[in-house]
């Protein structure tokens, strides 16, 4: 069996994971690239005059087989990788980069695209078609089509290097995460740790043939230890291990890679006529320019900083009173914050977790989707999965029409990177009058069930699941003609709106009563706990905002400047964090060397978008609150103008169609408790 086909003979045309061998990938990629090149040649060599249909539309539908293989392979490289897959990724990435450049630097193809683009005023195009034409033209002009031959050669070399460097960066971070283990044999070292976390640590040790307990850098292990463990020395050790990934001057060091990526991105932007990488990226974002991003971040910083400093002083005083701590360090942050939260609100995650059994939370997300958008989720066992932990669902509408296939992968393992994300195995598009429905997946890293307890989530994990599920709904409800405009193919600072708005439902009594039931007794979560969740929602919001802003400012410090004079990653980072620092610096640690969002993922010059989207989601949810959080009219408008439209129109236009007005930042500041 090979995967040289976009149309698998499987239920719902789903990926046949069990039949795919690693050795299938490289030949499959090579064949698919050859086939895609043939499709491009057919467009380029068409003797008929260029039209929207035979050039722009044909271009968007080309490479379908290659896209399908790429989505399967690179999703496995994130969620179920091994040394062989990583080696293939290093071989394949330059081939894909070269193929991409073969398209954007193809002069004859660009001439056809430009001919259609130059005649657009005389064409009777729909809004979606006009957007596609604009996007296709820019994909050439922004990627070197107008460059001289010498500069095109250099651009190809840069793109090839960047594709390999980004992969290497991610491999180093994953290897560092997997390499570290804190093996504890004295139970007193686990003092303060909840029973569930202790049991999970013991189970992990047993799985590796060890006595005692194992703590790792995977979030379900790392976060509880940093939050609850009384042993400050061990918290320090774990924190430094987490914060020093890629920063040890060894084989897994990422400092040189960070500098190379930043400089190559800058050179690429300059080559294309842009001042910096950020200027290049932001031209295709709602924010538009680095100046606007920096103004946005600094205005929020001005509002959040007084609150953050006050919260930090309160935390310092609390730690001093409780344990005579003279200087709060980063490894004290989660620990004392949790203790202070318990004191102020009589609330801690251990009280809440019994009400958030994973299966119940999943069903809660499904129920919210049904009440808002009329979707039903049916677990199915007829399609392949890439790991036994993966759950598979058929999603249908009220009339039983197929909406999507949905994969959910919730637990950490050695071949899976940390964090949480949404992805796709098959895009939505309308082709030959057939509405191809998408195959969507969410991937998280939650605590696995133990011998005595099911998987119980922290409240933060509940909001994470809803967040990724919001992205998934954006993918599932896509209803566009062209694949490149479908689902989450939107401006990067708009893509977080569907995910972040869904988190709001987690704080509402009406929602929690749908699914928050005690895993043992079946009792619905008490009203007093719901009130405490709501009351604690803005706890340390100033500090949290400062932390998010610091990441955005660091991103802009790497990508909104000429990096050629940056010699030391750490020194540059310290300068970028200058206005947002609350804790003393830790010499052994460096964030940039493990900042996968901007050096491996697609968030370079885009990390600000989390905060940008918070402005949108707070404003949008106020609309739901005004009319009722399950109001069908508002939900239908959100589905019609946001979730189904993908990137077919300017996102601000779509937002105004939904909301009736531009978003106002006051909604976010009110929600955060930063203004009354």
Q: Distance between CA atoms of 54 and 157, rounded to whole angstroms?
A: 31
Q: Distance between CA atoms of 507 and 459, rounded to whole angstroms?
A: 10
Which DSSP state fits 537?
Answer: G
From the list 181, 160, 171, 180, the residue with the least C-alpha distance to 84 is 171
> Which are the contacts of 656, defined by CB distance < 8 A and separation ≥ 6?
662
CA 415, 196, 469, 403 torsion-angle sign = positive
Q: Distance between CA atoms of 515 and 457, rounded to whole angstroms?
A: 13
- 434 forms beta bridges with 431
What are φ and ψ of residue 633, in 5° steps? -65, -45
The dihedral formed by the CA atoms of 609, 446, 227 and 184, expressed in degrees to the nearest 10: -140
From the list 50, 44, 183, the residue with the least C-alpha distance to 118 is 50
Q: What count of Cα atoms within 13 Å lies in the side-chain half-sphere of residue 254? A: 31
Give the SS3 label for residue 436: strand
Task: Catalogue the active-site residues.
Answer: 468
> Which are the contacts of 487, defined by CB distance < 8 A and separation ≥ 6?
424, 427, 428, 438, 440, 474, 475, 478, 480, 646
Task: Count the Cβ atoms, other than its own, within 10 Å of residue 298.
Answer: 14
Q: Which two tokens stand for residue 408?
A: 């959910």
Cβ-count burial 626-658 (b if 16+ within 10 Å, e if not): eeebebeebbebbbebbbbbbbbbebeebbeeb
CB-CB contact of 247 with 590 (8 Å): yes
Long-range contacts of 124-132 (CB under 8 A, 24+ apart): 125/52, 127/648, 127/649, 128/480, 128/481, 128/482, 128/485, 128/648, 128/649, 129/52, 129/56, 131/485, 131/647, 131/648, 131/649, 132/56, 132/57, 132/60, 132/482, 132/484, 132/485
Q: Distance between CA atoms of 504 and 138, rounded to whole angstroms?
A: 36
Residue whose structure tokens are 């056809």: 112
Give the SS3 label for residue 420: coil
Q: What spatial distance separates the first Cα and last Cα of the chain, rounded to whole Å?
A: 63
Which DSSP state fits 639?
Answer: I
Q: Distance between CA atoms of 513 and 527, rounded to whole angstroms?
A: 9
Cβ-count burial 76-112 (b if 16+ within 10 Å, e if not): bbbbbbeeebbebbeebbbebbebbbebbbbeebbeb
> Which are the contacts of 394, defined by CB distance < 8 A and separation ≥ 6?
12, 377, 378, 380, 402, 405, 406
What is the DSSP annotation of 183-221? EE--GGGGTT--HHHHHHHHHHHHHTT-SSEEE-SSHHH
């Amino acid at each position: 069996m090979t995967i040289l086909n976009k149309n698998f003979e499987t239920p719902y045309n789903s990926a046949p994971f069990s039949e795919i061998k690693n050795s299938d990938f490289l030949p499959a990629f090579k064949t698919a690239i050859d086939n895609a090149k043939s499709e491009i040649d057919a467009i380029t060599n068409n003797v008929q005059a260029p039209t929207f249909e035979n050039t722009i539309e044909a271009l968007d539908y080309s490479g379908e087989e290659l896209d399908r293989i790429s989505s399967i392979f690179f999703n496995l490289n994130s969620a179920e990788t091994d040394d062989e897959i990583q080696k293939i990724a290093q071989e394949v990435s330059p081939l894909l980069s070269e193929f991409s450049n073969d398209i954007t630097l193809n002069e004859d193809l660009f001439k056809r695209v430009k001919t259609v683009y130059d005649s657009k005023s005389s064409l009777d195009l729909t809004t979606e078609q006009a957007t596609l034409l604009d996007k296709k033209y820019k994909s050439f002009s922004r990627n070197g089509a107008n460059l001289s031959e010498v500069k095109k050669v250099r651009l190809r070399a840069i793109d090839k290097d960047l594709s390999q460097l980004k992969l290497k960066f991610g491999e180093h971070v994953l290897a560092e995460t997997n390499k570290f283990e804190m093996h504890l044999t004295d139970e007193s070292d686990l003092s303060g740790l909840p029973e569930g976390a202790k049991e999970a640590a013991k189970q992990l040790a047993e799985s590796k043939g060890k006595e005692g307990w194992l703590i790792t850098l995977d979030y379900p292990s790392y976060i509880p230890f940093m939050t609850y463990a009384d042993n400050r020395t061990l918290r320090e050790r774990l924190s430094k291990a987490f914060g020093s990934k890629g920063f040890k001057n060894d084989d897994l060091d990422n400092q040189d890679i960070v500098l190379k990526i930043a400089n190559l991105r800058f050179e690429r932007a300059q080559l294309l006529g842009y001042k910096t990488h950020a200027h290049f990226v932001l031209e295709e974002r709602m924010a538009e320019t680095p100046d606007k991003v920096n103004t946005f971040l600094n205005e929020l910083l001005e509002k959040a900083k007084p609150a953050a400093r006050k919260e930090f002083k309160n935390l310092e005083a609390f730690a001093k009173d409780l344990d005579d701590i003279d200087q709060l360090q980063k490894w004290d942050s989660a620990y004392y914050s949790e203790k202070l939260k318990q004191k102020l609100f009589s609330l801690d995650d251990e009280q809440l977790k019994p009400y958030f059994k994973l299966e119940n939370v999943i069903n809660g997300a499904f129920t919210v989707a049904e009440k808002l958008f009329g979707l039903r989720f049916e677990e199915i066992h007829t399609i392949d999965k890439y790991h036994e932990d993966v759950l598979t669902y058929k999603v249908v509408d009220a009339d039983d029409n197929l909406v999507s296939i949905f994969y959910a992968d919730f637990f950490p393992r050695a071949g899976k990177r940390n964090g949480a994300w949404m992805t796709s195995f098959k895009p939505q598009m309308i082709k030959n009058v057939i509405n191809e429905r998408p195959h969507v997946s969410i991937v998280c890293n939650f605590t696995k069930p133990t011998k005595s307890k099911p998987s119980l989530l922290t409240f933060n994990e509940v909001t994470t699941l809803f967040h990724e599920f919001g992205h998934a709904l954006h993918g599932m409800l896509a209803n566009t003609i062209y694949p490149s405009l479908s689902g989450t193919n939107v401006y990067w600072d708009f893509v977080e709106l569907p995910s972040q708005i869904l988190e709001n439902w987690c704080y509402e009594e009406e929602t929690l009563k749908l699914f928050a039931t005690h895993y043992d007794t079946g009792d619905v979560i008490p009203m007093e706990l719901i009130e405490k969740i709501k009351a604690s929602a803005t706890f340390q919001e100033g500090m949290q905002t400062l932390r998010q802003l610091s990441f955005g400012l660091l991103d802009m410090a790497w990508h909104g400047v000429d990096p050629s004079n940056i010699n030391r990653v750490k020194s540059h980072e310290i300068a970028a964090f200058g206005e947002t620092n609350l804790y003393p610096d830790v010499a052994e640690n460096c964030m940039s060397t493990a900042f996968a969002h901007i050096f491996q993922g697609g968030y370079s010059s885009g990390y600000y978008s989390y905060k940008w989207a918070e402005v949108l989601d707070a404003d949008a949810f106020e609309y739901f609150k005004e009319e009722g959080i399950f109001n069908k009219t508002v939900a239908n408008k959100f589905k019609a103008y946001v979730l189904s439209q993908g990137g077919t129109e300017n996102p601000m236009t779509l937002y105004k169609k939904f909301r009736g007005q531009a978003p106002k930042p006051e909604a976010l500041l009110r929600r955060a408790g930063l203004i009354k």
